[in-house]
Amino acid sequence: MNLKQKLGKRIQELRKSQNMTQEKLAEKINLDITSLSKIETGRNYPQPDTLEKLSDALGIDVEHFFCFNAFSSKEYYLTEINKNMSLIQNDTEKLRILYSVSSALI
């Protein structure tokens, strides 16, 4: 995946994490929906002023667009948590610790 695609995917992840449609985001930043779609699919780079508008509309700092290893979707986190739980399902002590940590967060 090239930089344009990574950036577009990240913008899309951040938009979806806020349950925002492309239409709504495009409207908020006064951008044609086709242009936003091209950015999210990695066909076009956003202009610097468009990045600033996107960051304002999504309520994040511009640098968050470039945190490609940061996953923001709850589905990702739930999948990873379930994978980790399956790895320790036969270890009572690790399950106890996981329970304690997760209970402390709630």
Model confidence at 72, pLDDT cuts 50, 70, 90, reads low
At 73 the pLDDT is 65
Residue with tokens 């600033």: 52
- Distance of alpha carbon 4 from alpha carbon 41, whole angstroms: 8
Helix ranges (H only) for the chain are 3-17, 22-28, 33-40, 48-58, 74-87, 92-105
Q: Which tens digits make up the pLDDT trace of 48-68? A: 999 999 999 999 889 889 887
Q: Is the torsion defined by CA of 17, 41, 64, 101 positive or negative?
A: positive
User: What is the CATH architecture assignment of 3-66?
Assistant: Orthogonal Bundle (1.10)
Residue with tokens 């990574």: 6
Judged against a pLDDT cut of 70, whether residue 70 lies above it is answered with no
One-letter amino acid for residue 27 of the chain? E
Judged against a pLDDT cut of 70, whether residue 71 lies above it is answered with no
* pTM (2 d.p.): 0.65
At 25 the pLDDT is 97
Domains in the chain: boundaries: 3-66, 74-105
Comparing C-alpha atoms, which of 88, 92, 69 is closest to residue 13?
69
At 12 the pLDDT is 94
Q: Which tens digits make up the pLDDT trace of 84-93? A: 889 899 999 9
Mean pLDDT on 5-16: 93
